[in-house]
Amino acid sequence: MTSYVSKFDREPGLAPEARFPVVALASSAGGLNALFQVLGPLPADLPAAVLVAQHQQPDRPSRLPQLLDARTPLTVRAARDGDTMEKGTVLVTPPGYHLLVVSDNRIGLIGVGERALPPRPTADMMLATLAVTCGPRALAVVLTGVGTDAQSGTRAITCCGGRALAQDEATSVHFGMPGAAISTGEVDKVLPLTEIAKEIQTYATALNEEQPGSGCEAS
């Protein structure tokens, strides 16, 4: 049987310095302000890549990357199919697409289609693919939002050796997504919105120093 290979060249045997942490932020209703408060305090030299899945209407232009870029020292831009993840860079899933982590340090985008059901983009798909490609280098952060998106993804992240944070109910505009993640029993810390950036920076720094291998087998 021929094994599956993505359309992007996989990069096996990455040098240890390339195995940096990846932080994935999932949000929905109320997420814009939450993303401002999480990304705003993070330093430009954050030793981690950041991915964002914020639910958006697929048929409307989005200024989310520009809005976030104006509020954080990190580099922020809309994700493009085949992008390489980099330290200090935030890749925002564009409307009308789902983001997949397709290899140790590369992402891909797939269109959701006009009849695709919400949530769009789905955090579960982003987190599950991040889990199996980056294993213990992954940190999921579930922010305010309606529904249960990111619940299965949280399980995937911790199953493969990563960690998960969730916003607490008191600071969430909508507690659906964080509450669903917390209900798995797999969330490491439940934090007020104002404390999440500090926890990300602390954890990313520690992970970067450890430089673990990639994939679930390294957990």
- Catalytic residues, by residue number, are 28, 55, 149
Alpha-carbon gap, residue 72 to 138, rounded angstroms? 21
Regarding beta strands 189-191 and 75-78, do their DSSP bridges make them parallel or antiparallel, or are they unpaired?
unpaired
72 neighbors 39 (Cβ within 8 angstroms): yes
Of 21, 41, 31, the C-alpha closest to 150 is: 31
CA atoms within 13 A of residue 204's CA, in its CB half-sphere = 23
C-alpha torsion sign, points 19, 209, 192, 72 = negative
